[in-house]
Structure 1
Amino acid sequence: MGRPARVTVVVASRDRRHDLERSLPRHEGPVILLDNGSTDGSAAAVRRRFPRVEVVELGRNLGAPARNLGVRLAGTPYVAFADDDSWWAAGALERAADVLDAHPRLAVLAGRVLVGPQERSDPVCADMAASPLGREPDLPGPSVLGFLACGAVVRREAYLAAGGFDGVVFFFGEEERLALDLAAAGWGLAYVEDVVAHHHPSPSRDPRGRQVLAARNAVLTAVLRRPWPVVARTASAAARGGPAGRRGLWEAVPRLPAALAGRRRLPPQVEAARRSLEAPGGGHGSAGQAAAETVNE
């Protein structure tokens, strides 16, 4: 009798049937698909072609928070996220589970993401590897305050205790607020280079739309957790960011009441760590923010 699975793969998708048909066969272990109100027959196609995949039809687009339901449904201590156009390398999830078993304070294992057929390392990975936060003795790699969702394996109990992804940010760059809250609760987040995910970005992605979301969500994340001077700088940067930045700032406005209702200042040590990532030589600020600045994530 084989060893019980320790990692469940959770995929959130909307109208990406063809991407799912390419990626789902590559996943190892149990898989839960959250269908965010697809109209292209994704759910039925997956049930027909991949009966081992647990399909949950949400009936509407819940964005990144759809993953929260998948994490709650998972029967394993760890959960690996994947996009409909990404998958984990063979053996990667067993390696991730071993690392998480050995490091009980680790809440997020941020793996290396190889992009496209050329398998080039996502630039965010170099930033995480060179993190100025250093390496804590009880963690397996450099400490980070962000991650790429499609390259992350999380400790289920820590993720749920932190509330998972939230509906204020909704989608794109959703990782940063969660990373900050996990750090505030005393959990560790670390980059582990030998845990590898593959990401072949879907041709249906909208680069300009993602630039708008990046600007919007940077402002909202700042309102949720950062000091007011940081909020002001972030909003100013969006206003100076051309049409996409200004559109993102405008789209943040109707979400501000919810962001203000959920506002909570970070502990001083976490805010100081976050500021160190914004200093010259600190990289992109955080992996979540860096992801929001690229069209590949």
Structure 2
Amino acid sequence: MVDKILHEFVKECGYPRALDMFEKISSGKKLRSKLILKIAGQNEISLRLCAVIELIHLASLLHDDVIDDSTIRRGKPSINALYGSKNSIMLGDILYSKGYYEIVSLDPQIAKIVSKAVLDLSIGEMMDVDLGSKFSPNLDEYLKMIELKTAVLIQAAATSAAMIAKVDAKAYGIYGKNLGLAFQIVDDILDISADETTLGKPAFSDYKEGKTTLPYIFLYNALNLDDKEILKSLWGKELDENQTKWIKGKFDEFNIVHKCKEFAKELGYKAIASVSDEGLKEIVSSMIDREF
């Protein structure tokens, strides 16, 4: 149903080329929609909210792929790889604009919450670019960036769904924020632990793209001074087999994946503690309690 509404939304824009490009976007798992429907149930308002949130999320990914020069998204060619960066940016703008156009038909307070989340998301994207200009092992900066870039939209989805369901929006917002933080950290772990087929992109691509994610922050803080310099020297570069092997060896030596997973679990526990919904607890468990 959400896919059907999304298709209609983009079709209503009246530009067949935009619809053709939109249909080439590799569809994800729709975590945000699943969360909304789990909280608010399936009805006309909740489905419309799902479609708006998905439009915004997809728009952010289109822009993100251009910023990162990513040619693969979820195992398939990215839109910028297929149509070029200019088209990818403009399609993202169309999806953002359509999302805002549709959101005005929802409760004004929900529109305000989602719009603020998009503002924060854009700031998070800029923070990500700024942090990507240098090796940045600052944990607080990293956590703030992923809160804005990833968690705020998931938090807005949970809060808005709770408002539709007339339950404690603040509690569900806490759930959404911590779920979003854990979600991003799990994604960071998978970049260093999953194979390319599972990941849908080359492994270790985060570090090559200049992203100092949680595993590298934890590793840097565990290394001696000489090894710290080696790790910094590999940042933002194409890694050869020996360099990748060195980093993997250090990850294993200091049990970094386990430490990151425990960090994500703590966030998951905070999410679970804020609500009593068993279905929402299962979302957290299925994301974190897995093989890396």
Same fold (TM over 0.5): no
Normalization by structure 1: what TM-score? Answer: 0.28
Say which structure is richer in helix.
Answer: 2
Normalization by structure 2: what TM-score? Answer: 0.29
* Larger Rg over CA atoms: 2
